[in-house]
Structure formats: structure tokens, C-alpha cells
Amino acid sequence: MFPAHCSPVRVLISAESFLPSVDGVTNSVLRILDRLEAEGHETLVLAPSPGPDHYRRTPVVRVPSLPLPRYRSLTVGLPHRSIEDALRTFRPDVVHLAAPAVLGAAVAVAARRRGVPAVAVFQTDLAGFATRYGAGFARPAIWSWLRWVHGQAAVTLAPSTLTAWRLERHGIGPVRLWPRGVDLDGFHPDHRSAAVREVLAPDGEALIGYVGRLAAEKRLDLLAPLQDLPDSRLVVIGDGPERDRLAAVLPRAQFLGFRRGDDLARLVASLDVFVHPGTDETFCQAVQEALASGVPVVAPASGGPVDLVEHGRNGWLWPTEDPRLLRGAVATLLADPDRRRTMGQAARRSVTHRSWAAVGDQLLAVYEEVTGAGPAPSHQRRWAA
């Protein structure tokens, strides 16, 4: 539940990505909307076109957009007069900027002009992505732009400790730590399926799995050495621009495509080890969902996974400068079923306090603070530079 003392608020959410595109930004916005609607708050979404004009009871105002050159399936929302129209007619108490970049920048400026406080949520490592796509020269300009954009907001929320420190180092602040929630019923060890395992591992092999976008920044080439681990099968769940190339790099992997809902929950819970090789994750929701499903995780000691994976307890973190250790860590877990079982139990316990209800409480407390309706939340300290 949200804080009982909280009066209904009107929240305008600017989403840099939204349905029909499904990614980390979209998913977190959907869960926020679910909580806000359930507690009687009024919501409106501004998002790139095309797409549906409602999500449940929430109207969605679409702005013109352009597709990204290397990501034709993703679009960038452009500044448009509908932003001012939405602010004028909806009259929000607070503006929520989800991964602000282009659309979010325009909304932040318009909100500030009208005296409406904004909360910016940092979710996408644009500078890291630029490096992965051969545009590292643009990093200083990207950080300069993000510093200006986030400077329009009353506070920036970072999903992980390392991200919070990084933002402060680049002159962005004040920064508060606000993690992502997880659906503890949807992702649960009880969803482990003998039928799924029979299809994916008919000879009783252990299942190694990855879930997420198939994109360059995920570094999925590093999964190649896992294909020949004895008595195991590699499963890749997701889709993206690298799908065809990765099929050649990982010829012995099973590519299951994009999955969601109960189907995804069964697949994740049916894995024996979850692997994520990407180093640019500001949080990594897929890691959290694997932990909630009782699956030990092997992830790089970088970004969001550092807050989620307790090395040696619910999984292993490997040094990003030595990818060879990834194969060794997975091989060791595959050879020790008892250790996997113990780690899986610890994995579930490690995230039971991270429900969307709990993180929703934290978010609304921030809304109250920036609107002057409540005190600064004691659990959300400012990070020192």
C-alpha cells in the first residue's frame, strides 16, 4: 500500500519508451501506473507514437517520433505542442520523467516553466551505449546533455548504488537511490516446469539461460564458451537487432524469441543458472526476476547487478576485465547441484523485500517531498559526491 496519509495526486509520466515497445523503461512505467491507479491517483502518460491511446484507465498522449538509426524498432519522441496542452489541461501535481533524453527534456522544461516539480528517473546508460556502438567520442556531449536535462528536475532517482555514484561524479544531483520492484507472485520458484524442461533439455541436461534484448551492449558473444559445457543446454530468451548475427555466433543455443507473462515466468523458473554478460546495466530487472524465481545468477561485477547479486550467496559476480571467468563460474555451479539449490533458495530470499508495493511507497514519498506535501524520506539520503 502507498502511505495512508497521502492525498490523491495527479502524476504526469513522460516515458521515453512505452507500449508497444517493451523494454525496461516501459515495464517499470507500467508497474508504476498499476500502483498509482490502484491507490486512486490520477495519471497521464506522454510517449512517442505510434501506440495505444490508453493503458487501463490512464490516457496516453502520443507525440511525433523518429526511429533510431541502429534500433529501427525503437523511436524517439520529439518536442511537440501536445506537451504544453497536456500540462495545461491535466494540471499535474508532479511530473515523472522516465529515462529522460529528448521527449523528457522538453517535458521537464515545460513543467519547470509552469512551476510543476519533476522527478527524473535514470534508467538508460546512453553514454555506455554510445561506446558499444562505436560512438565513444560522443560520451562527453551525452553527459553534458544529461546533466542539463536532469538539472531541470527537483531530484534524480538512480536504480543502483554504482549508478548513483556515477551520476554524482558527472555532476548530476541531488541523487536518491530508488530500486525497481519485482512481481514476487509472477516470478516464483513454484513456476518451475517439468514440461518446459522436457522440451528444452530432453536428456536431463542443466539449463543455462539469458533473458533480455539481443543487442550489442548486452555482450552476448561472451556466451559462446558456454555452449560446449558438458550435460547442459544454453537458452536465449528475447529478441532484438542482433538476433541473426547471434544465431551464427551461438549455433548450439536455443533461441526462444520474445516471451512474457506466465510463459516467461515458467521459462525463467525452469533454468538452473541465469547468466547476464552485459556491463552497462543501470539495474537489470532480468537478474532480479531470476533471483525471485529461485535461480542463482552469474553476472559481471558492474552496474546494477552489484546491488542484486551477493557473491557466493545467491550467485557469483565475475570481474568484467576477465570474461574467461564467466565460463568457469557457470561450470562450477553446474557441477555442484547442492550448491545451486542452496544458492537458489538464498536468491528468492534476497528479493522478497523488493515488491512493487514497497518501492511504490518509496516513490510516492519522493513525490510528496518535492511537492511540499511531506518531509524528506529518511531512507532516501542524498549521495555525497
What residues are paired with 235 via a beta bridge?
209, 254
Instruction: State the pLDDT at residue 168.
Output: 96
Is residue 28 within 8 A of residue 98, CB to CB? The reply is yes
What residues are paired with 134 via a beta bridge?
none
pTM for this prediction: 0.88
How open is the CA angle 236-240-243, to the nearest 5 degrees? 60
- Structural domains for the chain: 10-181+355-371 (3.40.50.2000), 189-350 (3.40.50.2000)
Instruction: State the pLDDT at residue 354.
Output: 95
Is residue 295 within 8 A of residue 148, CB to CB? The reply is no
Instruction: State the pLDDT at residue 382.
Output: 43
Q: Which residues of the chain are modeled with pLDDT < 70? A: 1-6, 69-74, 132, 373-385
- Reported as a single tens digit per residue, the pLDDT across 279-336 is 889 999 999 999 999 999 999 999 999 999 999 999 999 998 888 899 999 999 999 9
Instruction: State the pLDDT at residue 127.
Output: 81
Instruction: State the pLDDT at residue 67.
Output: 84
Residue 349 CB neighbours (<10 A):
12
CA distance 235 to 208: 6
Q: How far out from the chain centre does Cα 259 lie?
A: 16
Q: How far out from the chain centre does Cα 40 lie?
A: 25
